[in-house]
Amino acid sequence: MSHHIVAVQSLDYCYPDGRHALQCVNFTLHHGEAAAIIGANGAGKSTLLRHLIGTLAPTSGSVRIGDDPVLPSTLKQVRRTVGMVFQDADDQLFMPTVYEDVAFGPINQGLPPAEVEKRVKNALFTVGCEHLRDRPPYRLSGGEKRAVAIATVLAMSPNILVMDEPTANLDARARRHCIRLLQGFTHTRIIATHDLDLVLDVCTRVIVLHEGQIVADGSTMEIFRDKKLLDRYHLEQPLRMQGCPVCSPSSEPCQQQSASDKHSHARRP
């Protein structure tokens, strides 16, 4: 079996306060697949991701990464295979300099210094942050922090990338840079996000979570075209699918719009 496969079977999780966060979650992701996990706040997205990296253990059911079930005894192998990018990059960047942060994972993997150097160089090159290698992480901008956080994971050469809100708190340019990066990866990708335009650009599959249960699982376009489904689960179509606010008949009429006002729809590159 490939190490790139993620199989979640009948996953249930109850928090110690009795809140049922996940109920009978089932899905399988294949090699190279990019899947988005979407849902309203509190739907269980982050809880699900934490099961994939073994920081939470299921109340019942199982998670398999490739051949290995996620168990305390297999955590080392699982974390070698799955790289997780946290929602807040500050949680992920804890070393004094960017170089040391990116080298942290490879050093813990026991790699020789020359290989560590190579991995750090490649990872920073991939995210376009070579010039930041000697900077302290707390001096970086939000976009730079995010890119370096991705580099820290890439340096460990994972087969599967798990990301929690990768574009949260980024400005437009940093967000676009992050999306381009994600598009360029060939890893199996699992992205929990509220940024549905990002999903449109990066993911081929969408899993909709609601109150800890999977309520829809299908191709991105199939899910996003179903307005009723999205509405039922407190979601909206991506902005790009909602039509132009000026000329779309479904949009609110523009009070101050004069007939002579012109606008054009720029074609996306």
Partner 1 sequence: MNEKRDRMYAVDEFDRLAAGNSPLHRYDPRAKLLVVLFAAGIAASYSRYAVAEIVPLLLLPIVWLSLSKVPLRFVLGKLLLALPFVFFMAIFNPIFDRAPVMDFGVLSVSGGWLSFTSIMLRFLLSISLIILLVACTGFNTLCATLLRLHIPKIFVVQLLLLYRYIFLLADEVQRVRQAYSLRALGDRSIALPVVGSLLGQLLLRVMDRGQRIHQAMLCRGFVGILSVRRDFHWCKRDTWFLLGWTLWLVLARTVNITDQLGHFLLKGLT
Q: Please report, for residues 12, 105, 205, 232, 265, the alpha-carbon distance to residue 225 in angstroms, rounded to integers and kept in the order given.
A: 29, 41, 13, 13, 21
Residues 117-136 that bind partner 1 (CB under 8 A): 136
β-strands 68-69, 160-164 pairing: unpaired
CB of 251 to partner 1, least distance (A): 35
Taking the least distance from each CB to partner 1, the nearer of 155 and 179 is 155
Stretch (H or E) spanning 217:
strand 213-219
Q: Within positions 218 to 247, which residues make up the interface with partner 1, using CB under 8 A?
A: none
User: What secondary structure letter does DSSP report for 208?
Assistant: E
Q: Residue 166, interface with partner 1 (CB under 8 A)? A: no
**Residue nearer to partner 1 on the CB measure, 94 or 125:** 94
Note every long-range contact of 17-22, with CB atoms under 8 Å and residues 24 or more positions apart, other chains counting: 20/212, 21/47, 21/212, 22/47, 22/48, 22/51, 22/58, 22/212, 22/213
Which lies closer to partner 1 via its Cβ, residue 138 or residue 250?
138
* 133-138 contacts, C-beta under 8 A, 24 or more apart: 133/97, 133/98, 133/99, 133/102, 134/97, 134/98, 134/99, 135/97, 135/98, 136/96, 136/97, 136/98, 137/90, 137/93, 137/94, 137/95, 137/97, 137/98, 137/101, 138/90, 138/93
Contact mark string toward partner 1, 87..106, x via CB under 8 A: -x-xxx-xxxx-xx--xxx-
Nearest-approach distance from CB 217 to partner 1, in angstroms: 26
Closest CB 88 distance from partner 1, rounded Å: 7
Q: Is 138 in the site for partner 1 (CB under 8 A)?
A: yes
Using the rule CB under 8 A, is 59 a contact of partner 1?
no
194-223 footprint of partner 1 as x/- string (CB under 8 A): ------------------------------
- Least distance from partner 1 to the Cβ atom of residue 143, Å: 17
Q: Which is nearer to partner 1, 84 or 198 (CB)?
A: 84
Residues at the interface with partner 1 (CB under 8 A): 50, 53, 55, 76, 79-80, 83-84, 86, 88, 90-92, 94-97, 99-100, 103-105, 107-109, 136-138, 152-153, 156
